[in-house]
Structure 1
Amino acid sequence: MMTEKMKAIVLTKPCKADELTTTKVSIPKVKPGYDLIKIKALGVNESEVTSRKGESDPDFQFPRILEIEGAGVIAETCKNSKFKVGQKVITMMGGMGRSLDGSYAKYTLVKEENIIPFESDLDCSIIGALPEMLQTAYGSLSQGLHIKKDDTLLVRGGSSTVGLTAAILAHHMGAKVITTTRNEKKLAKMKELGIDYPVLDDKQFKQTVKKIAPTGVDKVLELVGFSTLFKDMSLAKQGAYTCFTGALGGQWTLDNFSPFMITTGVFLTSYAGKY
């Protein structure tokens, strides 16, 4: 059993990125159903950024070790664990980095059902950034939108990691994909990656989308938030689905919301993941 201390970034209050510092804390103790992972690499997600700024979900509590995903090796196992010490794994856990301590640390304790073994020649620095991005993108498409071949999909916030991943996945699933960005360089990158219709989010945005989809889009993946949600829903056809998955613009909620703000005949759903 490990008893020494470990380095971790412990968030005690909202702060700027350059104000984050490491401290020494106790290594989590293994318990039934949980294994200890030595973290080798991790991604930086929007959820960590909003938590650091103090703009996170209501279940977030200080002090907290951030980060909901990571890649590493099993350092210690619980009794009857299905994993072995030294085994390469990735993890993504509901509540991790929010109501539970995450992987901005040398070690993190994770429930076994949220540990995935992997064998790959890819470096952990690549593997560690994949779980949240892939799970959110694929889950939004398959469960939130039920995307299918020949659908026209509008991805609002298409230059984000989830947006770009969702766009590429949807393209390979046979959908016609429209993505948005406010940045000319990112627009060029989208074209380079083979996105069907990269669109600049400017004053002509609505007209541009209507030229691509004159009768309206079939599906909308909303990643920017309430600041663009209803504008995007107005571009959808009758019977279309809009999936609210993220709020890159920072607006997760809306004061004085009324159901009548939703476009008639367009279904509004959400995807928060189940893991």
Structure 2
Amino acid sequence: MAKLPTEMTVIEITEPGGPEVLRPARRLLPEPALGEVLIEVTAAGVNRPDTMQRQGLYPPPPGASDLPGLEVSGHVAANGPGARHHAPGAAVCALTHGGAYAEYCVAPETQTLPVPAGLPVADAAGLPETCFTVWTNAFERARLRAGERLLVHGGSSGIGTTAIQIASALGVRVFATAGSPAKCAACEELGAERAINYRDEDFVAVVKELTGGEGVDVVLDMVGGSYLQRNLAALRPEGRLAQIAVQEASKSQIDLFALMRKRLSIVGSTLRPQSVESKARIAAALEEQVWPLVESGLVRPVIDTRLPLEEAAAAHARMEAGRHIGKILLERNAG
């Protein structure tokens, strides 16, 4: 392989603030540590935690890169000590601890997966964060199974479009909420049996009507706040609520008697603080259970926008405007 450069272009957060604080800079290449791989970046996915980190609301954990970016695709440039699963030059995508907004990025080998056959390398940057989140919360923690019913909030988001496709491919009846006719149409094209426009429809009433008054088995929610009690109302007895974000609010009141009467469960997790071992287990499950669905074409990352790495500020502005459907990618040599 060609000799690696000593410096690279990165996107730094110069201070907490709006998208304009994201600016290109030059840094030394990171060196892969024990069990890590160095990836020459083709693309990085943009996610809500990136925008929160930029605002100073979601600081990176100790030892993680201060650069934003939690998912990446590209080619293995070098292996650190003990890393030997992916040969140099192999096309991979990875869940990172941070640092994906750069020309080179390190990631644990156990969180690095081969790019599924038939998928463009750049598009694979839209897989890790969404697939890890959906799989561990909906299918592991909430125990979603074939034949059950799932309600996905934010159905047109990166998480939502992934959840709809994976669940539909695995035999789950899927309903979704979204905020416009175009977004609802996109959800139904991806496999949702019915998409509910939350701006002018009551999702609890619609779900109850569609299920003969029973409700759904699992709700995958990223809103929180006022949605909590309504989510519980939308669940059937023995139903499970999987909380994966709190875009409206992290606190809400709950009717505990209603929860007990219907024997409901509330689970949830954030991905970044989990151990390398925990993420390795999720990665192995994805390669076994989800990667074949991607290779068969049943699941595909939905790409809304591709922007050059240097236009990270525009990518954040688009995400925060809420007009996107699917993933926003930062690509080297895009444009």
Equivalent position amino acid for 2:206 in 1: T
Hey, what does 2:93 align to over in structure 1?
90
Change (3 A) 1:30 1:199: closer
Quote the Cα distance in structure 2 between the aligned partners of 1:261 and 1:62: 42
The alpha-carbon deviation at position 80 of structure 1 amounts to 4.5
Whichever residue aligns with residue 184 of structure 1, its letter is P
Are 1:164 and 2:170 counterparts? no
* In 2: Cα distance, 1:261 partner to 1:103 partner: 45
Structure 2: 5+ residue stretches without partners: 272-277, 280-335
C-alpha change, 1:149 and 1:14, in structure 2 (3 Å) is same
Cα drift, residue 57 of structure 1 = 6.0
Structure 2 counterparts to residues 194-205 of structure 1, below 5 A: 194-205=191-202
- Is the 1:90–1:131 contact (alpha carbons within 8 Å) kept by the matching residues of 2? yes
Structure 1, residues 65-109: CA drift from partner, whole Å, max 9, x if none?
A: 01111011121222443133222221113xx12xxxx21111112
Q: 1:67 to 1:168 in 2, by over 3 A?
A: same
**Higher mean displacement: 227-236 or 36-45:** 227-236
Give the match's secondary structure for 2:11: strand
* SS of equivalent residue, structure 2 residue 92: strand
By relative contact order (CA 8 Å, sep 6+), the higher-ranking structure is: 2
Task: Provide, for residues 132-184 of structure 1, a one-character-per-residue CA deviation record: whole Å limited to 9, x for no partner.
Answer: 11221222221122112221211122121111211222222222211001212
Tell whether 2:256 aligns with 1:246. Answer: no
**1:151 corresponds to 2:142:** no
Partners of 2:116 and 2:206 in 1: CA distance: 44
Which protein is richer in helix relative to its size? 2
- State the secondary structure of the residue aligned to 1:225: coil
Determine the structure 2 residue equivalent to 1:221: 220
1:183 and 2:185 matched = no
Residue 260 of structure 1: aligned partner: 256
Post-superposition CA distance 1:39-73 (Å, at most 9, x none): 11111111112212223268489982011110111
State how many pairs are aligned: 266
For the residues of structure 2 that align with 1:201 and 1:195, how far apart are their CA atoms?
Answer: 15
Query: Aligned equivalents of 1:152 and 1:78: distance in 2?
Result: 44
- Contact 1:13-1:62 at 8 Å conserved across structures: no
TM-score, normalised relative to structure 1: 0.86
**Correspondent of 1:109 among 106, 111, 131:** 106
User: Counterpart amino acid of 1:9?
Assistant: I
1:170 is paired with a residue whose SS is helix
2:35 paired residue number: 33
Q: Give the aligned residue type for 1:260.
A: L
Please give the alpha-carbon distance, in whole angstroms, between the structure 1 residues aligned to 2:22 and 2:52.
Answer: 14
Q: 2:83 and 2:146 mapped to 1: Cα distance?
A: 41
Distance in 1 (alpha carbons) for counterparts of 2:173 and 2:114: 34
Identity %: 24
Q: More deviation in 33-42 or 198-207?
A: 198-207
Tell whether the 8 Å contact from 2:79 to 2:88 is kept in structure 1 after alignment: yes
Q: Structure 1 residues 261 and 6 mapped into 2: Cα distance closer, same or farther (>3 Å)? A: farther
Bigger Cα displacement from structure 2, 23-32 vs 261-270:
261-270
After superposition, the Cα gap between the structure-2 partners of 1:163 and 1:3, relative to the gap in structure 1 and judged at 3 Å, is closer
Distance 1:172 1:263, change over 3 A: same
- Say if 1:219 and 1:81 are closer, same or farther in 2 by CA, change over 3 A: closer
Pick closer, same or farther for the CA change 1:113–1:202 going to 2, 3 Å: same
Corresponding position of 1:233: 232
Structure 1's 115 and 203: CA in aligned 2 closer, same or farther, altered over 3 A? closer
1:41/1:3 Cα in 2 relative to 1: closer, same or farther (>3 Å)?
closer
- Provide the alpha-carbon RMSD of the alignment: 2.6
Q: Distance in 2 between matches of 1:9 and 1:159?
A: 27
Shift in CA distance, 68/62, structure 1 to aligned 2, threshold 3 Å: closer
